[in-house]
Structure 1
Amino acid sequence: MKPQPTVANMHLSISFLLTALLAFTNVVKAETGIAEVMSALYIDNRDLQCDRIHIGKDFIYLSPSEEITNTTAWSQVVEGPDLTSKYNVRSGDRIRVTYKNTTNSTTGSRRLLLTPDEDLVSIDVLQTAVPHEIFTGTQIRVRSMIYIIKTCGWEASANVTQIQNMYFQAANSISGYHTNCTYGKVTFNSSDSIVFGPVEVPCNGTVSNGILTYNFDASINCGSAEQFAWRTYAENAARAAGHGAFMDAAPRRRIVHILPREVKCPWAGLGSVGCGGSTCTVYIKGAYALSLTVNMHELGHTQGLSHAGRGYDEYGDYSDVMGTASSEGYLCMNVGNQFRVGWNTMLANLNTVTTNNPGNTGLVGRWVIPATNLTENNALFLNYSTPTVRFPNMFVSFRTRGPLYDNVMPTNLMDQVFVHQFNGTASERDYNRTLLVATLVTNGVYTSPFVDRYPDTTSGGGVKIRVVSITPGVSATVQLCHFTQLNETTCNDGIDNDCDGIIDNCVPPASVSPVVYSSPQLSSLSPTPTPPPPSPPLRSPPKSPPSPPPSPAPRPPPKSPPSPPPSPAPRPPPKSPPIPKLKSPLPRPSPRRPPPSPRPPKASPPPRPSVRKPPPKSTATSRPPPS
């Protein structure tokens, strides 16, 4: 039975209501601090039963700065996919966060934002960080502190010797990863790093940033407060051990935490996106403490790289450690990601006009692309975007295994041409992701999307990329053709505008043979035979007179001289040979001459039966299968 209200419980209800109203009003509150943008690698949640679609998650934390005096800084502001692009923010930026006031008047502390998007109003960048992760001519030396953490009675997942071996000494190491995949532009050496631990961190308690104090409980949580506690206790222990001078020396860049296996973190790794300010942070869950690829994936984020995707899978590019590395070893970044951080150079930067110019072979649109493990000058950049046309720019490269570089490239991707879409730039504040759209073997063809800008042929259109040949382990030869029309409508300009393999091919599709892919831009500079004019439409044999029906003329013996051949006399329908049929019936034209007489013909050669001549043999054999 529902109890009747009393004065006492009515008073409590009113107090509770007032508190709730104060806590969840729409009063706007703003806080200022330093952005910590973290990107998570979700391996635990991967399941082949769900079509490999694994959308990752980013987090933005508001961390304290020296001038903060009244704030709830070091808290999670928002979580979700692709936050760096959504809010135009990188780690180290000074930001102002505005959200609806969710402050409880009795405790003075903000509740944990379980659904932060409902409370967040805006994130404004007040001052951008100045990271230095793009190679501009001076080798980048990474300085790091690597902490091994134990907590809650959970033992450390690795010891100092194991971490030192994986990072600096093994045949495949983090140090080697940087040297090989960056072509020596970035180094990560033991002389610039300290491995320290294990550090005992309380399972729960409070941690202070010097201004505010936070509660944490690692036995049940893996949020911003727990991460702050792991970092703070580790830093304090390292300073107490005498490493303060090393930690304060510039540049102090990477702070890596190797966590126990049992921590309640849903991800395999979590790393700062970009490395602005003086530091950036990485957390590795214990099950992956000795995973070379998980560690390198998160360190790749600190260099500003995003995930490498394919289709709807954010990690779907199996040729890039920023996607999915299926084996432990060196799997370097794709050429779009390399371009983003300044590690490679382009064979050519092509636009819609220059794509059909001679390539490095001297032939129209033809290029020899070396394997990425052999040289940093290793890709074609098809830069088709303009201020008015947002086109998917593309990078074309050739990947294979090397003794070190890409030594765990999946077998089904070896010695293939890769086409990546990437509308990014070599900029610290670029948030674009690479997207693998095609892997091609010999004679493979990729046709890009088409943007209709008719009659403007200097923008839009699309491109066809065909692999002419592959020399395993060395190079691939590709042919490019920029098309401006889906079906040829400009019939007298001497250009294969639709890249179908035939110049000025404006014949209606029903009147010509199926188009094959042998464009002059896609074969060579040698003259392409002009296709013969189309034959007249097929005519059905004339009907025989209704009465009297002529007797069938006997066939000549097989070995009789072919000239003069007898005219094919009309035969009764049951025994007549099959008449060639068109896929689409054409109107029957009036005969040019009267029907042939059933009498034997004169000595002059009669017209051939009304069957179209096959195309010239040279044209047919020079055409590869259609794309």
Structure 2
Amino acid sequence: MILQVTEVQNAFVGPNGYADYLKNCSYSRMLLDQRGVTVVSTLVPCSLDISTCNANAISDAGRLNLPSGLQAASFTHLVYVIPKGLAVVCGWVGLAEILGPQTWFSPDNVGIFSKGTVMQELLHNFGLYHSWKDGVEYEDYSTAMGSGDSCPSAPELWRLGWATPLAQLSSSTFPVATFKAFSLPATYMGPTGVIIKIQPDWLGTFYTKNVYLGFRVKAAGDTDLQDEFHQKLNVHELDKTIDNNFYAAGDPKASIIGSISPSSSVTYFNFKLHLLTGALSSNGNVIFLKLCRFVVGPDECMANNNGDSSTTLPLPPSPAPPSPPRASPPRRPSPPPPPPPPPPRAAPPPSSPQQQTPRTTLQGQLVYRTSGTWVLMAALDDVYRLPAQPIDPTTSTPVPSGSLVFLKCYLSSPGGRFCSSVADTRILDPVTPFPPQATNNATTLISALVMVMSLTRNSSSAECGSRSGAEVNDVRNAFLEPNGYADYFNNCSYGKMQFDRKALTVVSASVSCSNDILLCNLDSLSSAARQQLPSGVQATGFSSLIYVLPNGFASICGWVGQGELPGRQSWFTPDNFGIFEKATVVQEMLHNFGIYHAWRNGSEYGDYSTVMGFGDSCPSAPELWRLGWATPLAQLNSSSLPAATFKTYTLPATYLGPKGVLIRIQPDWLGVASYIKDVYLGLRTRAAAADRNLMDEFNGKLNIHEMRKEPAADSSFVSPGDPRASLIGVLDPGSALTLSSYKIYLVTGSLVNGGLAITVQICRFISAFQECTPEASLPRPQSLPPPNLRSSPPPFNKSPPPYKPPPYKPSPAPTSIPSSVAPKPPTPAPPPRPSSPSVTKLPPPSPPNKSPPPTPPPSPQPSPPLMLPPKPPPRNNGNVGPPSSLLRLPSPPPRPALPPPLSPSPPPSLASSKAKTISLKDSWFTKPRIRTAAGRLCRTKAECINFRSSRSIRFLKYQFH
């Protein structure tokens, strides 16, 4: 049966039809000529191409069978409605060309009669791509470009040229630690000043995405807006390379990262952005908000705001005319984390005593927190946050964490706890060895006080609601149950570090909510918890203080675990990725004893063989040595390892320690200039107790690590900084390996002693491994790429993610590491597990896209359009979205545009435009292809992508002819 032409006609030009939608959403900047809309019915002969759902064959046949006197060339937009039943075999309900005039729809309520479907495909013709959420295409239900039925989102309004910003913020217009207040109208009230565009260039090389804010209300084109987004501030991110350059090709991946209710506060740590929403205006069409960017944490904003955290915000002054358009709790890692803190540098002296309040007698222990924060702790309740790691003026070197120091602190505000700058730093007592007496057989007994926090409502603040916490018994069991945290420490340390089970105290602490607590100020949280301790329980009586935050704080703080390095305090979220994740708890507590994260291939956390990286097993050989838990079977240097001479050892598995379970090599034969790292060998074997969770990659194999020797980091337990214990090799039994940069030749025999030991032969050479004469049965060595002993690894290519639950990303390394030593993302070997990268940052935003290759100059003639991936059939809930079983075609690049002019330049009026709908007959069958710029069809994904990547796109002015 042929679809009724009048039904299709009414869908376009009837009340609240597609013409009204375009007019309302575009603020009349895109109009459909309702008198020019022509809907006809055509009958076409069936063919093989048509029966296989060849979109080009369908459209060609439709145009060839138009009624007499009607020419397709008279219209710029051609809409094809396929016969009933064909959508099932085609696998989509809507299909469009990007930067082209043609669209195809199924003849049903999820195709041509779905406003969201039709609007999405038509806007593809104008260069818009699908909208995303949590890395999933179509998942943004706030816009027709995802799976919604409402107007485009803030970044899409900008890219279409329909709306202009109320403000555009960057480092030059957005001072650090300073709130900016705005009154943001709902987007439907545009086109002028209804979005805020943020370009976080203060992130440096980690600036990969722009952020957009838009206030959405059910009205005009947004009458079908879902409740999830109604009267809320919608936050989006998209790729800045494409967003900032209208000639750049590719999908900017506009992604929704938040929908914020009035009177709320949200911190996007990976953008270093703190956001406060206030009340709505009396008519509900305007939201008041404050924005602040920070360096380390959002409490900087409160410190510089003189304690004013009011969210009832004044109307801002009229902004300058903006430039028009032409950017989830899981296991430890994915996000990239926020950029690491800058390298330590001497802070400039204050400009004048009138501007800052000096405190000239500040004295205490310097402590590093694994979120990237440096604090000076005069006492447990007397803590001051520093702007960076202090510099010793006598040596011009960073002051080691753990040192007792004196300095002059210039407070950001009278009575505050943040030093905006420091001066006259002096080391009163150098860093204390951690752990104490590491090389003897003393046992470290941990007496732990665990405070399980909950929040009570504060009636003076609308934001301060009550929040429950974890169950005290569950937390206690996590420490004391079989194979719990106490057993882990006992097994991995060979009894040298134990929890005092009788002294372990787990208590609940109900604290009153405050703005500082809602900003995840750790000192405020800790102090409030200690003040609520039961009678007779004193924090000073315990060696370790553990705080379990209230429910919901993972998204507020942006991590699941954090520890002091060195120190006695650690903080955890109340979930399976924080306090109830063994690896998270152990990693943070070992930070208290001076142990840093583990590395591999220049990637912090990249070592999966140890809990200090991404593993669930015991510390590695160099970490066992640093902790004082294990002793070497041999220590080799130029005096104990003659050149060209093999030394043979039977090395037991590390879990059989503490004595003689690792080999330490000090390659001083390299000379003073080249000897900068030591090498460690350890056999790892999965064991019932300690290493029960060791991964297969390391089980029954010789694990090879290197660790920084200078400045005596490996050789002295009092040395400062991260020694960067790094996994550089895993050697199977019966193998050989040359460590060229260390001039070491290793040969492994078979496993012995029931698989609990391995035979290892070690030789050092002068020029080549052939100087060593192996036995005839020994295998020829592999050649391990020599470790770069001097140059720094390439930097992270991390993107500041928005908040989304999985996955967590590790925190930046301490600022004592030079900025040139920025790690790369972890090797994607085993999937990262949710332990506690300290600090484990929420991603906020999604992984960064690689920058696309430069787009060639615009071609002189327009090219045929790409065909966008088809809109798939709806899900079970009735919303149009892609079933997981469907093959999604690659997305073509977006439209380029002219560089932004000095004043807004909306698209030309479409008042005289026409649209045409053709209805085809009968039932046919399946598969769309992609039209490339040259006009030919590519039949494979690789062919399409390869062809697409070299095409240039000419700027077009879009209108209906």
Same fold (TM over 0.5): yes
Alignment of 1:356-505 (within 5 A): 356=642, 364-376=646-658, 377-385=660-668, 389-422=674-707, 423=709, 424-425=714-715, 427-431=717-721, 432-450=723-741, 462-471=743-752, 473-485=755-767, 498-500=768-770, 503=771
Q: What CA distance in whole angstroms lies between the structure 2 residues aligned with 1:355 and 1:282?
A: 43
Superposed CA offset, 1:237-278 (max 9, x none)? 22x42223xx444xx310000112322212221111124xxx
Q: Which amino acid aligns with 1:323?
A: G
**Residue 203 of structure 1: aligned partner:** 513
Q: Which amino acid aligns with 1:74?
A: V
- TM superposition shift of 1:300: 0.6
**Residue 38 of structure 1: aligned partner:** 368
Matched, 1:142 2:446: yes
**Residue 96 of structure 1: aligned partner:** 406
Q: Which amino acid aligns with 2:743?
A: G
Q: What CA distance in whole angstroms lies between the structure 2 residues aligned with 1:122 and 1:262?
A: 41
Alignment of 1:80-119 (within 5 A): 87-91=398-402, 93-98=403-408, 101=410, 103=412, 108-109=414-415, 119=421
**Residue 44 of structure 1: aligned partner:** none
* Pair 177,426 (structure 1): closer, same or farther in 2 beyond 3 Å: farther
Matched, 1:166 2:451: no
Q: What CA distance in whole angstroms lies between the structure 2 residues aligned with 1:82 and 1:30?
A: 17
Q: What CA distance in whole angstroms lies between the structure 1 residues aligned with 2:369 and 2:595?
A: 10
Matched, 1:61 2:382: no
Q: What CA distance in whole angstroms lies between the structure 2 residues aligned with 1:145 and 1:467?
A: 46
Superposed CA offset, 1:333-381 (max 9, x none)? 11111111211011111013433589xxxx9322221111122220111
Superposed CA offset, 1:383-435 (max 9, x none)? 12475553321011100100011110012221111111123135144432311
Q: What CA distance in whole angstroms lies between the structure 1 residues aligned with 2:391 and 2:605?
A: 13
**Residue 180 of structure 1: aligned partner:** 491
Superposed CA offset, 1:117-169 (max 9, x none)? xx455753222464662442222211111100112545444211111111112
**Residue 126 of structure 1: aligned partner:** 428
The question of whether the paired residues in 2 share the 8 Å contact of 1:154 and 1:262 is answered with no
**From 579, 584, 604, the counterpart of 1:294:** 584
**From 338, 355, 358, the counterpart of 2:624:** 338
**Residue 566 of structure 1: aligned partner:** none
- TM superposition shift of 1:94: 2.5
Gaps of 5+ in 1: 1-19, 41-56, 205-215, 451-460, 486-497, 504-518, 525-620
**Residue 529 of structure 1: aligned partner:** none
Q: What CA distance in whole angstroms lies between the structure 2 residues aligned with 1:82 and 1:39?
A: 17
Q: What CA distance in whole angstroms lies between the structure 2 residues aligned with 1:190 and 1:438?
A: 38
Matched, 1:272 2:564: yes
The question of whether the paired residues in 2 share the 8 Å contact of 1:148 and 1:259 is answered with yes
Segment of structure 1 superposing worse, 21-30 or 179-188: 21-30
* Pair 123,81 (structure 1): closer, same or farther in 2 beyond 3 Å: closer
Q: Which amino acid aligns with 2:745?
A: K
**From 760, 771, 775, the counterpart of 1:523:** 775
Superposed CA offset, 1:538-560 (max 9, x none)? xxxxxxxxxxxxxxxxxxxxxxx
* Pair 30,196 (structure 1): closer, same or farther in 2 beyond 3 Å: same
- TM superposition shift of 1:82: 13
Q: Tell me the number of residue pairs that the alignment of Structure 1 and Structure 2 aligns.
A: 407
Q: What CA distance in whole angstroms lies between the structure 2 residues aligned with 1:29 and 1:467?
A: 61
Superposed CA offset, 1:283-325 (max 9, x none)? 1122312111101111111122111111222111111111112
SS class of match (2:728) = strand
**Residue 322 of structure 1: aligned partner:** 612
Q: What CA distance in whole angstroms lies between the structure 2 residues aligned with 1:81 and 1:309?
A: 25
Q: What CA distance in whole angstroms lies between the structure 1 residues aligned with 2:469 and 2:444?
A: 30
SS class of match (1:191) = coil
Segment of structure 1 superposing worse, 182-191 or 121-130: 121-130
TM-score, normalisation: structure 2: 0.39
Whose relative contact order is higher, 1 or 2, with alpha carbons under 8 Å and at least 6 apart? 2
Q: What CA distance in whole angstroms lies between the structure 2 residues aligned with 1:168 and 1:82?
A: 42
The question of whether the paired residues in 1 share the 8 Å contact of 2:408 and 2:423 is answered with yes
TM-score, normalisation: structure 1: 0.59
The question of whether the paired residues in 2 share the 8 Å contact of 1:146 and 1:258 is answered with yes
**Residue 260 of structure 2: aligned partner:** none
* Pair 123,78 (structure 1): closer, same or farther in 2 beyond 3 Å: farther
* Pair 469,233 (structure 1): closer, same or farther in 2 beyond 3 Å: same
Q: What CA distance in whole angstroms lies between the structure 2 residues aligned with 1:446 and 1:24?
A: 65
**From 50, 73, 76, the counterpart of 2:385:** 76
* Pair 102,74 (structure 1): closer, same or farther in 2 beyond 3 Å: closer
SS class of match (1:137) = coil
Superposed CA offset, 1:468-500 (max 9, x none)? 323474122222120112xxxxxxxxxxxx212
Gaps of 5+ in 2: 1-349, 456-463, 784-961
Q: Which amino acid aligns with 2:516?
A: D
Superposed CA offset, 1:82-110 (max 9, x none)? 99x9734334x3222346x565xxx6356
**Residue 199 of structure 2: aligned partner:** none
Q: What CA distance in whole angstroms lies between the structure 1 residues aligned with 2:426 and 2:778?
A: 60
Q: Which amino acid aligns with 2:429?
A: Q
* Pair 26,38 (structure 1): closer, same or farther in 2 beyond 3 Å: closer
* Pair 172,82 (structure 1): closer, same or farther in 2 beyond 3 Å: farther
The question of whether the paired residues in 1 share the 8 Å contact of 2:736 and 2:779 is answered with no
The question of whether the paired residues in 1 share the 8 Å contact of 2:747 and 2:761 is answered with yes
The question of whether the paired residues in 1 share the 8 Å contact of 2:680 and 2:706 is answered with yes
Q: What CA distance in whole angstroms lies between the structure 1 residues aligned with 2:466 and 2:738?
A: 54
SS class of match (1:96) = strand
Q: What CA distance in whole angstroms lies between the structure 2 residues aligned with 1:261 and 1:622?
A: 58
**Residue 492 of structure 1: aligned partner:** none
Q: Which amino acid aligns with 1:370?
A: P
Q: What CA distance in whole angstroms lies between the structure 2 residues aligned with 1:94 and 1:81?
A: 12
Alignment of 1:602-613 (within 5 A): none
The question of whether the paired residues in 2 share the 8 Å contact of 1:342 and 1:426 is answered with no
- TM superposition shift of 1:439: 1.0
Q: What CA distance in whole angstroms lies between the structure 2 residues aligned with 1:374 and 1:464?
A: 26
The question of whether the paired residues in 2 share the 8 Å contact of 1:307 and 1:315 is answered with yes
**Residue 194 of structure 1: aligned partner:** 505
Identity across matched positions, percent: 19
**Residue 311 of structure 2: aligned partner:** none
- TM superposition shift of 1:443: 4.2
